[in-house]
Structure 1
Amino acid sequence: MTTPSLQDGIDKAGSPVGLLWRPGAEPWTPEVVDREFAGWRIEQRAWHEGVALLNLSHHMYDMWIEGPDATRVLADYGANNFEKFAIGQAKQYVPVTRHGHIVTDGILSREAEDTYLLSGVPAAQHWVQYHAEQGGYDVSFSTDPSSAFRPGGGDPRLFRYQIQGPLAVELVEQVFGAPIPETKFFHSTPVTLDGRAFKALRHGMAGQAGYEFIGPWEHAAYVHEAFLTAGEPLGLVQVGALAYTTPSVESGWIPSPVPGIYSDSELAEYRAWLPLFGIEGARPLYGSFFSESIEDYYISPYELGYGKVIHFGHDFHGRDALLRAKEDTSLRTKVTLVFDPDDVRRVIGGGADPGFVVSYARHRVETSAGLVGLTMQTASIDPVGTVLSQTLIDPSHAEPGTEVTVVWGDHPGSGTGPEADLGFPRIRATVQPSPFDRHARTEYRRDA
């Protein structure tokens, strides 16, 4: 039986939006990790006030790219600077379509001269592999899907543990018996623990200090137990699946933007190559904003704040479109919306504390002028005392302190007008910068 393709699904549904629109969809949370260990509020506070351990081992999709043409294919289909890419360094990989829309980002690590590891939501991996195979590049691919999708089950190839928070450095020193050598942001250094070799990637989230430790799965249990034991006197808190989804709302990273691949006729063969039940056909759209045109959901990397990593010193797919976008003053601005706490209780909590909230819905953001923006990810942030939302908004409404309203509800989809008054409640919100965390906004990447 032939596996249905993404294009098959679009054809059957009648349109890309018809395929993806799913009101009331359950928000994603990481696989194979307890939902809560100490409670999501305590876990959020741990990386603000103490030290937290996050297990990233199970939800990352990894693809190793190896061969003489590894750098060339990544540079041909990525907007990053490959002239300055050291072994042991990682970058936010930014692939775009010929029209300059992001496919989705990923974390690209250079493992050796001709070997890279691309991790994250697999849309970027699919894009690179397809074009490498079609273009005859001399590279090979090895993949390890996330644990929920690994054929036959089994363990991941790698463990990934993040240690984050004001006490992270102290904990790391306790575990290794000495400070880790000074390492630039998003660079790694080799480490050993009782003869077990792995690497420490200088990382952080929501502006907090920390590392991501990555190594062979055979060492996973030992390394995990070492951090738990050394962290107990410091009040180490393990972070569960609920709280794990929220630091991106503070740090300004927007996960899983809609890939700009659904409508270009020149990508029909690509859509026929993609499986229907991959991320491109399974990640739902929902919220109070609805459009029959999938292109209304496409995003420029400039809107995501990736302008600083785009490098025009080489030719790459989508380069001309990004040159035009660089001068486009109408592109939306990424901001943080701070929801009015009383409205949160009234609208989301039915008059009470709503508890944990996380949503990837595209909700309408309005002023008296009408629609001015879309929410991208929304979550309760207990240390802030309310709900925050990463939002793309028209530049004329992006000034901090601007007051807007968020339309909270799920449009039913096709058959109801996009502008229909469905009686959805409104939540008042105030525009603030993105990243919301001051340290993440001003100092986080200075030593990258």
Structure 2
Amino acid sequence: MATPSLQDGIDKSGSPIELLWQPNAEPWLPEVVDREFTGWRQEQAAWHEGVALLNLSHHMFDMWIEGPDATRVLADHGVNNFEKFAIGQAKQYVPVTRDGNIVTDGILAREGENKYLLSGIPAAQHWVQYHAEKGGYDVAFETDPSSAFRPGGGDPKLFRYQIQGPLAAELVQRAFGGPLPETKFFHFTAVTLNGRPLRALRHGMAGQAGFEFIGDWEHAAYVHETFLKVGEPLGLVQVGARAYATPSVESGWIPSPVPGIYTDPELADYRAWLPLFGIEGKRPLNGSYFSADIEDYYVSPFELGYGKLIHFGHDFVGRDALLAAKGSETLRKKVTLVLDPFDVRRVIGEDQDPGFVLSYARHRVESGDGLVGVTMQAASIDPVGSVLALSLVDAEHATPGTEVTVVWGEHPGSGAASEADLGFPRIRATVQAAPFNEHARTLYRRDR
């Protein structure tokens, strides 16, 4: 029996929305990593105030792209500048459709002249591989799915451990017997830990300094135990899957935009190529914002804040559409909504501490009686003392200090009108900048 495709799922359901809409869907968390070690509040505090260890080995999809046409296929199907892409550098790779809607982003590392590693949510990998095969590019692929989707289980090919927080540099110095070589933001440096080769990627989360260490899985246990041992005097805290899912709200990264692939007739073959049981067919939609038209969920890279990544000096799929959209007054702005703590307790916590909140639901953002935006991810941020919601709002409501309301509820789907008043509670919110964290917004990328 043939494996059902994404197009099969759409045809059987009747529409992309009927396929994807799942009220009250639980946010996906990697089950391989403990949800909590010391408690999500302590774990969040660790990367703000001390030092944290995060295990990223299991939830990302890796795809190696190698061959004479590796750079060409990536450049032809991504907005990025490949003229200034050094070996040992990483970039946020942004592919878009011919209509200028984002497919999703991923982290692209250049490992050699004709070799790259693309990591993250696998929609970008699917996009590149399909077009490489269809276009006859001279390139080969090797993939390693996330642990939740790896056939037959087994270990990842690579481990990824992040050391983050104000004491990250001190922990790293203790582990390696001295400071690491000076490394630019989002660049790799080769290091060894007691003879074991690793790569250190310099970056940060929620504005905090840190490194991501990557190496062959055979060294994973040793590296992990070493970090735990040398970090103990510094109060190192292991971060579980719950807390790890929250710093993107502070740092301004929207992790799960809906791929703009469901409606273009020219992508029918692509949808037939994609498996139904993949990210494009199984990542649910839910929340108080509902539309029967999946295109209302598509987003532009400009709306996500990726305008600076777009290099119009080369030809790529979607270039003309992005040129036409550049500077458009109809584009929404990415903001952080700070939800009123009293309303959060009233609506989510039933007048008590609401505890941990994590939602990828699309909730309506309103001003007066009108829709002005939509939430993309919301999470409890204990150091802030409330829930933050990374959102897209109309430009006229994007000024910091603007007051709006978030409609908190679960629209049932096609059985009720999208604009129907279903009696959902409202949560007052104040617009602030994205990234919310001032350090992330102003400082930590200054030496890129």
Output the TM-score relative to the length of structure 1: 1.00
Amino acid at match of 1:298: Y
Which residue of structure 2 aligns with residue 135 of structure 1? 135
* Preserved CA contact (<8 Å) 2:246 2:381: yes
Greater alpha carbon shift after TM alignment, 239-248 vs 29-38: 29-38
Which residue of structure 2 aligns with residue 94 of structure 1? 94
Which residue of structure 2 aligns with residue 291 of structure 1? 291
Alignment map for 1:4-403 (pairs within 5 Å)? 4-368=4-368, 370-403=370-403
**For 1:313 and 1:51, how far apart are their aligned partners in 2?**
41
Alignment deviations for residues 137-159 of structure 1 (CA, whole Å, 9 cap, x no partner)? 00000000000110111100000
Which residue of structure 2 aligns with residue 430 of structure 1? 430
Amino acid at match of 1:267: L
State the secondary structure of the residue aligned to 2:336.
strand
CA RMSD of aligned residues (A): 0.5
**For 2:442 and 2:372, how far apart are their aligned partners in 1?**
26
**For 2:284 and 2:137, how far apart are their aligned partners in 1?**
33
Which residue of structure 1 aligns with residue 406 of structure 2? 406
Q: Percent identity?
A: 80
State the secondary structure of the residue aligned to 1:210.
strand
**For 1:308 and 1:408, how far apart are their aligned partners in 2?**
33
State the secondary structure of the residue aligned to 1:238.
strand
**For 1:137 and 1:429, how far apart are their aligned partners in 2?**
49
Amino acid at match of 1:214: I
Unaligned residue ranges in structure 2 (runs of 5+): none
State the secondary structure of the residue aligned to 2:205.
coil
- State the Cα distance separating 1:100 from its structure 2 match: 0.1
**For 1:295 and 1:149, how far apart are their aligned partners in 2?**
28
Amino acid at match of 1:202: R
**For 2:30 and 2:80, how far apart are their aligned partners in 1?**
28
- State the Cα distance separating 1:369 from its structure 2 match: 5.2
State the secondary structure of the residue aligned to 2:331.
coil
Output the TM-score relative to the length of structure 2: 1.00
**For 1:80 and 1:416, how far apart are their aligned partners in 2?**
41
- State the Cα distance separating 1:29 from its structure 2 match: 1.4
Structure 1 stretches of at least 4 aligned residues deviating more than 3 Å after TM superposition: none
- State the Cα distance separating 1:322 from its structure 2 match: 0.6
**For 1:24 and 1:288, how far apart are their aligned partners in 2?**
10
Alignment deviations for residues 373-428 of structure 1 (CA, whole Å, 9 cap, x no partner)? 00000000000000000000000000000000000000000021001110000000
- State the Cα distance separating 1:447 from its structure 2 match: 1.2
Alignment deviations for residues 7-51 of structure 1 (CA, whole Å, 9 cap, x no partner)? 000000000000000001011112300010000000000000000
Unaligned residue ranges in structure 1 (runs of 5+): none
State the secondary structure of the residue aligned to 1:379.
strand
Alignment deviations for residues 136-195 of structure 1 (CA, whole Å, 9 cap, x no partner)? 000000000000110111100000000000000000000000100110000010000111
Alignment deviations for residues 207-263 of structure 1 (CA, whole Å, 9 cap, x no partner)? 000000000000000000110000000000000011010000000000010000000
Amino acid at match of 2:129: Q
**For 2:30 and 2:208, how far apart are their aligned partners in 1?**
21
Alignment deviations for residues 251-288 of structure 1 (CA, whole Å, 9 cap, x no partner)? 00000100000000000000000000110000000000
Amino acid at match of 1:49: E
**For 2:390 and 2:155, how far apart are their aligned partners in 1?**
33
* Preserved CA contact (<8 Å) 2:35 2:241: yes
Give the length in aligned residue pairs: 448
Amino acid at match of 2:309: V
Alignment deviations for residues 291-340 of structure 1 (CA, whole Å, 9 cap, x no partner)? 00000000000000000111011000000001111121210000000000
- State the Cα distance separating 1:342 from its structure 2 match: 0.3
- State the Cα distance separating 1:72 from its structure 2 match: 0.2
**For 1:226 and 1:283, how far apart are their aligned partners in 2?**
36
**For 2:74 and 2:359, how far apart are their aligned partners in 1?**
32
Amino acid at match of 2:182: E
* Preserved CA contact (<8 Å) 2:408 2:427: yes
**For 1:361 and 1:401, how far apart are their aligned partners in 2?**
24
**For 1:166 and 1:324, how far apart are their aligned partners in 2?**
43
Alignment deviations for residues 39-67 of structure 1 (CA, whole Å, 9 cap, x no partner)? 00000000000000000000010000000
**For 1:116 and 1:282, how far apart are their aligned partners in 2?**
27
State the secondary structure of the residue aligned to 2:374.
strand
